Amino acid sequence: MVGWLAWQAVVPSTPVFGPALDVSNAADAVPKIVVLPFENLGAAVDEYFAGGMTDEIRSRLTALQDLRVISRTSSMQYKDVQPSTRLFGEELGVQYVLDGTVQWQWSASGTSEVRVTLELIQVADDTQVWTQSYTEELADIFEVQSQIATEVIARLGIALGEPARAALAARPTENIDAYDLYLKGNDYLHRAREVTSPRDFRIAIDFFADAVSLDPAFAEAHAQLSVAHHWLWEIYADHTDDRLAMARKAADDAMILDAELPAAHYARGLIYLAEGRRDLAAIEYRRLLESQPNNAEVHEALSKVQLELGDYEASYISMNPGGRAESAPRVGSSVGRVDGWPCCACLIQRSRTICVQSS
């Protein structure tokens, strides 16, 4: 799940009153895990592949209802950093950490192989719950991703129904070259979002366009192509009707190919926001959460839309479902004009008021 909402919160200068918020921690019984950025042990040019493997494993785990997965935004702050395991529990509220290494190499027979080594750690006592290495041909990468996610889930004691098993075993494309282009596109899309780079957005667009050219049925590539077009429009690098039309067409293509695809609903939500139809954007994000109820990034996206619509209490609940620890700092930044998040949270809980102050 990739891309972020660009928004400007419109907040009145008077308090907003409403019914008491449900800020209980009933969801604390659901295990929480952070998937750390996998280390690339191969050539520097393969960094995108290690990042892509991390994102794909995280995405498969995020689809499970009985597991909370820390968002990419929160987990990326630990890239190239080695804090103590205890710190993850304190800062992110997780019980488990999944870490790993990835190496893309050529075998003696000349085939492309991927070696992935994973380690699952329990935060409470810093013990290794599971470790495993996989060495497979690149063509079998989807099976490796499925095996890893399934093994992690089994170690956490989560039972899988048939729909969940099918989701974990999904193959987004049968064209491995198209998939490689898709991963490269995602890498440039992430870079572009981090530094607001029109050049990197355009490179991402080219990779996604090449991916769908190789496999026109690759729905996720269409969805990401839409997101990249949208952001190029959003940052005013190409704020034209033609650019938005390209984003809309790519989102529509993704929806036609797979109407249940979470990435397609996310892309369509961005289009609705660009068109000023926030209520329809909120509908898309709610539909996405039906299949990925614990997707932290989508909860944040929905929260920002609800804030723009003036539904402050729903915005708070969306940002902080079940007392999500990682969301707490960003609630303050989302409201933006609140003077001090802890004070604001206190007011919400004690007097059912969101105190908004002009900056």
Q: At 58, which CATH number?
A: 3.40.50.10610
74 alpha-carbon distance from chain centroid: 10
Query: Taking a C-beta distance cutoff of 8 angstroms, is the pair 121, 85 a contact?
Result: yes
- 219 and 135, same structural domain? no
Query: Taking a C-beta distance cutoff of 8 angstroms, is the pair 187, 48 a contact?
Result: yes
Whether residue 334 is contained in a domain is answered as no
Extract the tokens encoding 314: 């729903």
- 232 and 151, same structural domain? no
- 230 and 280, same structural domain? yes
Last residue of a domain, one of 122, 138, 168: 168
- 269 and 154, same structural domain? no
Closest CA to 348 of 320, 308, 326, 325: 320
Q: Contacts by 71-75 with C-beta closer than 8 Å and gap 24+?
A: 71/295, 71/296, 71/297, 71/300, 71/326, 72/1, 72/2, 72/297, 73/4, 73/297, 74/34, 74/296, 74/326, 75/34, 75/35, 75/36, 75/37
Cβ neighbours for 195, distance < 8 A, ≥ 6 positions apart: none
At residue 14, the 3 state secondary structure works out as coil
Whether residue 134 is contained in a domain is answered as yes
- 179 and 118, same structural domain? no
Helix (H) or strand (E) holding 264: helix 262-274
Q: What's the Cα-to-Cα distance from 81 to each of 41, 61, 71, 125, rounded to whole Å?
A: 16, 23, 17, 20
Query: Taking a C-beta distance cutoff of 8 angstroms, is the pair 299, 319 a contact?
Result: yes
Whether residue 305 is contained in a domain is answered as no
Distance CA 249, CA 350 (A): 47
Helix axes 262-274, 296-308, angle to 10 degrees: 20
- 164 and 179, same structural domain? no
- pLDDT of res. 285: 96
Distance CA 5, CA 246 (A): 18
- pLDDT of res. 82: 77
Strands 16-17 and 39-40, sheet pairing? unpaired
Tokens 């380690």 correspond to what residue? 119
Distance CA 28, CA 315 (A): 20
Whether residue 111 is contained in a domain is answered as yes
- 223 and 188, same structural domain? yes
Residue 263: CATH number of its domain: 1.25.40.10
Query: Taking a C-beta distance cutoff of 8 angstroms, is the pair 264, 223 a contact?
Result: yes
Whether residue 337 is contained in a domain is answered as no
- 183 and 159, same structural domain? no
Tell whether pTM > 0.75: yes
**Number of domains forming the structure of the chain:** 2
- 198 and 151, same structural domain? no
Q: What's the Cα-to-Cα distance from 11 to each of 144, 345, 356, rounded to whole Å?
A: 47, 17, 7
Whether residue 309 is contained in a domain is answered as no
- pLDDT of res. 340: 31
- 225 and 115, same structural domain? no
Q: CB 80: neighbour CB atoms within 10 A?
A: 6
Strand partners, 354: 16
- pLDDT of res. 108: 67
Whether residue 5 is contained in a domain is answered as no
Residuewise pLDDT in 10s, the chain (359 residues): 333 333 222 222 233 323 333 434 444 578 999 999 999 999 999 999 999 999 999 999 998 888 999 989 889 999 988 778 888 888 899 999 999 999 987 766 667 899 999 999 999 999 999 999 999 888 899 999 999 999 999 999 998 888 888 888 899 999 999 999 999 999 999 999 999 999 999 999 999 999 999 999 999 999 999 999 999 999 999 999 999 999 999 999 999 999 999 999 999 999 999 999 999 999 999 999 988 888 888 998 899 999 999 999 899 988 876 554 444 434 344 444 333 333 333 334 433 333 333 33
Tokens 């027979």 correspond to what residue? 109
Last residue of a domain, one of 139, 168, 197: 168
Last residue of a domain, one of 261, 293, 325: 293
| Structural domain boundaries, residue 48 | 31-168
Distance CA 193, CA 201 (A): 8
Distance CA 226, CA 147 (A): 30
- 182 and 116, same structural domain? no
- 182 and 151, same structural domain? no
Whether residue 282 is contained in a domain is answered as yes
